[in-house]
Amino acid sequence: PIHGHPVASCPVTTGSGTSSGASGAGLAPRGPGAGLRHQRAGRAAHRALPAVVAGLRGAQGGGVVPPLPQLLRPPGLRQRAVLRGADELRVRPRRRRLLQRRRSGDARPLLRLHPSLPLPRSRSQVSSNRMLLNKVRPKFLNFPHELVISNQKMLRNFSYMSTFVERLEKMGYRDGETMFGAPYDFRYAVAPVGRPSSVGDAFFRALKGLVERASGLNGGRPVVIATHSFGGQLAHQFLVRQTRAWRHQFVRRFVPIAASWGGVVLGMLTLVSGNNMGLPFVEPRALLRQGRSLQSSLWILPSPAAFGTATPLATTKSRNYSAGDVADYLVAIGFGEAVGPYESRVLPLFGGELPHPGVPVTSVIGVGVGTPERIDYPGDDFDATPSVVAGDGDGVVNLASLVAVQTPWSRHGGDFRMVKVSNMSHNDLLVDDRALDIIIREIQRAD
């Protein structure tokens, strides 16, 4: 879809010499009702864009195809597009409010706030970190809002996990019977025991019920909990808060994949430069405020236990910042309000050695991929573009964080294994056949 004001009617000359166009071609731009006619023609043209592409493809075999500016400039209609060359289209975007009413007859999808999210008190108070759900694709029924246990299905249409789910199905696991999904709203982070964390506490209660239900549906057999990335930290916090008897009865093995036990250096860069979360054509800095509003943004900051306090992770012309200087770093980048939550809610969980989860663990990690290890700013402030020094890891999580639990958990006396997959990036662990073979084998070995 072309966002902003759509181009008007689009007549197309196909290879056979026939001509077609959207309704509204030839309408005069002036006179009574001209604005309404122009809007209708624009909407018709928006719907006709696939026909334009199909016509152009059909014309490649023969016939004459006019240049694209001529195709998109019907007589009698004002041209709102900026055309550069004969094969490139640039449309000036129209500024729109986040919440808007659908125009009558407009077939384009409308983004609304998800109904499970609390509504803002006024339209001007829409928070920058509200998640949007496209109503045209209501498939993500349990992501990212609260967990629904009554009919908990894996997210088959969620591409992030779909390949992993398909491989499990090929091995005989059945969706909703022998495998279950537990999605979590990644914006929120849990807090230490005794501190308020409504979202995290509700998730842990729902997850506990899901584990017990999954076990009950399969003759009381204990479950295997497999997680990826941030899910590893969540599952670890969930397990250490359960009793030993409960863990022994319901959990056979914990399989964290690409878990960042000690945070990532990239988290320090994100709080300065932003993170577009993979969205194309979006400047990362445009989402800086949104990124800072996420509770989880503090969870991924480097911990002293994993990175030590002597190794500089971010540098300016006048100072070096290690994992032990994160509080000073937050003040220096103009995010001093995060110091309190960081010291009271993050350091108590990750500032020291992580406790063993109390169940057998197989940690699967990717290594051999360049990962940001140090951020060097050329001046005394953080306005200039930094240079990034790369080290080992999976492209997102540093090796020091990936292996932070290897030594202490191996000493615990329990069953702990770490499997390293060479030259494997953070997300490829869930889609690459070589990595999936290893993960599936570990799950089957436990099961």
Provide mean pLDDT across the span 128-145: 34
Element (H, E) at 227: strand 223-228
**C-alpha to C-alpha distance for 271 and 330, rounded to whole angstroms:** 8
Element (H, E) at 367: strand 361-367
Task: Give the distance from CA 14 to its chain's centroid.
Answer: 41
Element (H, E) at 297: helix 296-299
pTM comes to 0.66
- The mean predicted confidence, pLDDT, of the chain is 74
State the pLDDT at residue 2.
30
State the pLDDT at residue 372.
95
402-446 pLDDT per residue, tens: 999 999 999 876 689 999 999 999 999 999 999 999 999 989 888
CB neighbourhood size of 219 (10 A): 6
Element (H, E) at 232: helix 230-240
Look at residue 308 and give its three-state secondary structure. coil
**C-alpha to C-alpha distance for 83 and 249, rounded to whole angstroms:** 67
* Residue 3 burial class via C-beta count within 10 angstroms: exposed 0-12, middle 13-18, buried 19 and up: exposed
Q: Domains in the chain, ordered, with CATH?
A: 12-91 (no CATH), 148-447 (3.40.50.1820)
Provide mean pLDDT across the span 319-327: 96
With a cut of 50, say whether residue 34 has pLDDT above it: yes
Find out whether the peptide bond into 75 is cis, omega within 30 degrees of 0.
no
- Contact between 25 and 44 under an 8 Å Cβ cutoff? The reply is no
With a cut of 80, say whether residue 33 has pLDDT above it: no
326-368 pLDDT per residue, tens: 999 999 999 999 999 999 999 999 888 899 999 999 999 999 9
CB neighbourhood size of 218 (10 A): 12
State the pLDDT at residue 302.
96
Q: Any idea which residues carry the catalytic annotation? A: 229, 394, 426
- Contact between 339 and 374 under an 8 Å Cβ cutoff? The reply is no
- The band of 274, judged by pLDDT with boundaries at 50, 70 and 90, is confident
Which tokens in the block code for residue 202?
């509700």
366-381 pLDDT per residue, tens: 999 999 999 999 998 8
State the pLDDT at residue 184.
84
State the pLDDT at residue 71.
39
